[in-house]
Homo-oligomer: A and B are copies of this chain.
Amino acid sequence: MFQWIKKVLIGRPLKNEAIHGEKYKVLWGLPILASDSISSVGYAGEEILIALVPVIGALSFMYLTYISLAIIALLVILTFSYSQTISAYTGGGGAYIVASDNLGHVAGVTAGTSLAIDYILTVAVSISSGIAQLTSAFHSLAPYHVLICIAVLLFIMIGNLRGIKESSRMFSIPTYLFIIGSLAMIIIGIVKIRLGVAHPVEPIVQMKANGAVSIFLILKAFSNGCTALTGVEAVSNAVPNFDKPAAKHAKKTLWLLSLFVLLIFGGISILANLYHIVPVEGKTVLNQIAFNVFGNNLMFYFYTATSILILVMAANTAYSDFPLLMSIMGKDGYVPRQFSMRGDRLSFSNGIIVLSAIAAILIIVFRGDVALLLPLYAIGAFSSFTLSQFGMVMRWRRIKGKWWRLKAFINGFGTLTTAVVVLIIAFEKFKAGAWIVIIITPVLLMMFMRIKKHYVALAKQLDIKESDLKGFSIEKSCYKNLVIVPLESINQSSLRALRFAKTISDKVIAFNISIDEEQANKIKGKYSMINTDIPLIVKYSPYRKVVSPLLKFIESTEYDYEKGDMITVILPQFTVKSWWQKMMHNNTSFFIRKELLKHKHIVVATMPLQLKNDKSVLKNTRSN
């Protein structure tokens, strides 16, 4: 039943060899990795204006241009930097790998932690904001906001569990539609103004200046606009998802992505400027521009629909990157190794499921409210940018090479800028929620370091040294094996256990716990009917415990156990089919096994007894 549902939702398991068919080239790679970036581009201009308009009024449009140019400069720096990263690190992992390799493990894991947090928030924020736009268009859906968010999340999760290729097909079309729509809108918008067909609108709100231009205001507007750049790192993290030659495909994708970001972000800033659009409650800047450019027609509705879809699809970028990052960190031992195992469809299913689960919790806890989630966002992305850029600087200093000073300068400038952005975001949004990220990051970092420590200690203990094997032979180092068969009563199941015990050792005892004289005599009487030389030990348990009298017996002088011997305890277990029968049986043996396995010299052998179907047993009896 469960298997069947799984097969329908996820698809048939894929063979290991199918991995190459699961990879993408530029055409399908671009939309999957670009949706995060490009969706945030649509809203970056708005974020800048939100900071400026209430303070400096009509002056805002001039500063919008300056700030946009600064952000585009930063974009170019980041693109150069990440392009170099892709060449240098074809294994993917982006900031995590670059920082680990050049700045040491602590910096690397910090970058990885920041990225992981950012991916989780990307999922929560982009689904919430996409659905918020949907529910504000269709008010009757508003009460089901959280429910719809979770449904969409599940849909994207299943799409990703189905595998990279299928998810890229499923989720790519809306991204391309949005890119084409945006570019068309920018061209039409500029042409219309130049031809005098369209005119700037009277700003709906009064464009009064209430304050002066200050460095803080500019920084705030700049940090708001930097949202446009989150997601640029996606490509460098996902290099292993590209078909061969992976680095070449990845770089082409990165440059295309940057080009689209530049065009759309720049274009929308220009349009906002030309049409004098300011943010108003309930209407996004993008929405107002589209309305002014296209008019109230099908084209407008179509573009609005794609702008909602791409917001939701932005979550998909995180689904491409988070599981890969976790798998790389898992191989290095900073997160449980289970993250490195590929699922039925060759996707890193554990990462996908964990990402979905945490994002779902965030959506539920924050009731899918974008305003509450947004302050947590972006700080992780820019922290990892800073570390990755700084890592590249150190790399140039180390390996030198042609133009290394220029390259180091570019990356150094990027380091500085992104570091400043981190500080601005942390400062501006501290109270609103950034503090949560600032607290969680070091906690996670310590957790990951602790896991690594555990794996190192584990490896040390499991490691076989060559000296161990000198003169070693398994055949010559067999254990002395003593077997104990705990009996509750004498039945078919205990007979089987005794037969098996005798099979694997000559030193067998049967062991019974009784809580009164009567019970003890009953079992002794029944046991004497079996023809065996296995001794039966009956112990009285005053507190009705099972395991402790057994352990006490083993440690007592009565029992002929020497250090280095192995003791095998045979526990019968009923195999039943229905869940309620499972609940009725084997609970005691579960606890016994758990307790016994705490002792290194005790092996617990579980011997299944398959029970027949109740009906068939009772039928046979009747017919006999």
Contacts and interface: CB of A to CB of B under 8 A. Distances in A.
**Interface residues of A, dominant DSSP:** mixed
Interface in A597-611: 597-600, 602-611
A159 to B, nearest CB: 21
A603 B602 contact: no
Q: How many copies does the complex hold?
A: 2
Contact of A16 (B503, B530, B544, B580): B544
Contacts of A15: 542-543
B502 A505 contact: no
B566 A500 contact: yes
Interface stretch (A58-66, A410-418, A468-476): A468-476
A371 B597 CA distance: 52
A614 B454 contact: yes
Given A460-B617, A573-B597, A600-B610, A498 B474 contact: yes
A245 to B, nearest CB: 21
A495 interface: yes
Interface in A527-580: 529-534, 542-545, 566, 568, 570, 573-575, 580
B618 A453 contact: yes
Given A453-B614, A454-B614, A598-B575, A621 B460 contact: yes
Contact of A568 (B338, B504, B604): B504
Interface stretch (A394-402, A422-430, A486-494): A486-494
A284 interface: no
Contacts of A457: 611-612, 614-615, 617-618
Contacts of A17: 542
Given A481-B503, A531-B473, A342 B611 contact: no
Contact of A479 (B336, B481, B500): B500
Interface centre among A453, A458, A479 (most CB of B within 10 A): A458
Contact of A544 (B342, B469, B500): B342
Given A481-B504, A505-B504, A462 B566 contact: no
B13 A543 contact: yes
Contacts of A276: none
Q: How large is the interface on A (under 10, 10 to 19, 20 to 34, 35 or more residues)?
A: 35 or more
A602 B611 contact: no
Given A495-B474, A606-B593, A461 B542 contact: no
Given A458-B611, A492-B463, A516 B568 contact: no
Contacts of A611: 457-458, 461
Contacts of A478: 499, 502-503
A151 interface: no
A600 B491 CA distance: 17
Contact of A575 (B453, B480, B500, B597): B597
A617 B459 CA distance: 10
A415 B575 CA distance: 46
A474 B453 contact: no
Nearest to A605: B605
Interface string A437-480: 00000000000000101101110111110000100111101111
A216 B337 CA distance: 73
A472 B491 CA distance: 14
A581 interface: yes
A566 B499 CA distance: 11
A195 interface: no
A544 B603 contact: no
B460 A581 contact: no
A584 interface: yes
B500 A603 contact: yes
Contact of A464 (B456, B463, B495, B499): B495
A215 B570 CA distance: 69
Nearest to A583: B336
A344 interface: yes
A9 interface: no
Given A503-B481, A607-B603, A533 B493 contact: no
A436 interface: no
A515 interface: yes
Contacts of A364: none
A140 interface: no
A600 to B, nearest CB: 4
A516 B16 contact: yes
Contacts of A500: 479, 481, 566, 603
B504 A475 contact: no
A341 interface: yes
A587 interface: yes
Interface string A163-186: 000000000000000000000000
Interface string A494-518: 0100111011110000000001100
Given A464-B490, A543-B13, A621-B460, A530 B597 contact: no
Contacts of A472: 530-531
A341 B544 contact: yes
Contact of A475 (B342, B505, B533, B599): B533
A3 to B, nearest CB: 12
A605 B603 contact: yes
Given A477-B499, A605-B605, 14 more contacts: A13-B543, A14-B543, A15-B543, A336-B583, A338-B587, A460-B621, A461-B611, A481-B500, A500-B603, A573-B597, A600-B610, A602-B608, A603-B608, A605-B606
9 contacts: A336-B584, A344-B544, A462-B491, A474-B502, A475-B533, A478-B499, A479-B500, A568-B605, A575-B600
Closest 3 CB pairs of A and B: A462-B491, A457-B614, A504-B504
